[in-house]
Each structure stands twice: as C-alpha cells, then as structure tokens.
Amino acid sequence: MEEESDPKEPSVLLMKSKASSDHRVKAACLAKDFYPKNVTFHFGVSHEVVYEQKDPVLSANGKYSAIKVAEFNENEEVDCSVQHTEKNFTAQSSQPAGSASMPATTTKLCDVSNATAEEENPETVNMLPLTVLGLRFLFAKSIAFNTLMTIKLFVF
C-alpha cells in the first residue's frame, strides 16, 4: 500500500466553450487527482482570468483537484500547463472552439448557451424533506404505540 506522502501526478483537462457573439471563448483548465496540493496554472497565450480557485479541493480519495477559467479570442490556440512537484503537465487545443475537425484528445466543447432545463422539479425537491419528516413521525408513533402495548401487557 502506498504512503500518503507519495506524490500523485495530476490529470490535466482543457475544456473550451463555443464562441460568444463578441468572438471570445472561455477555457477551463482542470487538474485533478494530484497530491500534494501545491499546483500552479499557466496558459500559453494572453488571457483574462475569469475564475481561479484559491485552494485546491480535497476529494474523498485523498487527492486534490483545482480549476482555472480564462477568456481568450476565438482564433487563438489555447494550451494549459500545470506545474506540480517541479514537473509540467500540459493539455492543449490546436484548433479554435467550434471547429468541425477538433481532435478528440483532451479538449472538450461545452455549450452552455443551449443548456436545457431538465433539472428536477422544485416542487418535488421541496417535498422530499416533508416526506422524510412524515416517515420519521410515523416511525416515532409506532414506537410509542408498541411501548404502550408492552406496558399494558406487563401491568394488566
């Protein structure tokens, strides 16, 4: 079994959105399943940072994950490198987002503009705690009834 102090190399994924009306794309660089938690993101071209995590997130398996999202021009080649334990790990996109012949390597398209509202119905979600409360009440009532019947059996 491996010790907790053994370094684990990150898996690096680069995901790009489709271009917006102002010909800008967002690219998210994700480093996942690494240990220790010190990691640094670098994008190969000039960019505007949209979101960057302050600290990596610790998952249940004891490894960390982190993300950085930046905005680029539509026609720029985007690559993301992650520095972890003095090694570089890279994911790159050689074609702009939305191209028909995009390689199916580590780059994936995300189209958030056509997101469908197939989420759970809020009324159903709100009924779940009420249902659990009702079942707890029924369980407490059955325990009280069984206790009373047991006392009645012994006393009378």
Query: Which CATH number belongs to the domain containing residue 24 in this structure?
Result: 2.60.40.10
For residues 121 and 118, what is the distance between their CA atoms, to the nearest angstrom?
8
Same domain for 46 and 85, yes or no, is yes
- Kindly give the parts of the chain with pLDDT less than 50: 1-3, 94, 96-107, 115, 117
pLDDT at 130: 85
For residues 8 and 127, what is the distance between their CA atoms, to the nearest angstrom?
43
Same domain for 89 and 141, yes or no, is no
- Domain hosting 138: range is 120-156
Query: What's the pTM?
Result: 0.55
For residues 3 and 47, the answer to whether their CB atoms sit within 8 Å is: no
For residues 76 and 25, what is the distance between their CA atoms, to the nearest angstrom?
9
pLDDT digits (tens, 9 = 90+) for 3-22: 456 888 888 888 888 888 88
In a domain, 140, yes or no: yes
Sheet holding 40-43, edge to edge: 40-43, 78-84, 87-93
In a domain, 146, yes or no: yes
For residues 31 and 39, what is the distance between their CA atoms, to the nearest angstrom?
9
Same domain for 94 and 127, yes or no, is no
pLDDT at 92: 61
In a domain, 5, yes or no: no
Same domain for 95 and 27, yes or no, is yes
Same domain for 153 and 88, yes or no, is no
In a domain, 79, yes or no: yes
In a domain, 90, yes or no: yes
Q: Please list the residues that pair with 12 across neighbouring strands.
A: 31
Q: What is the total count of domains within the chain?
A: 2
- Mean residue pLDDT of the chain comes to 78
In a domain, 2, yes or no: no
In a domain, 137, yes or no: yes
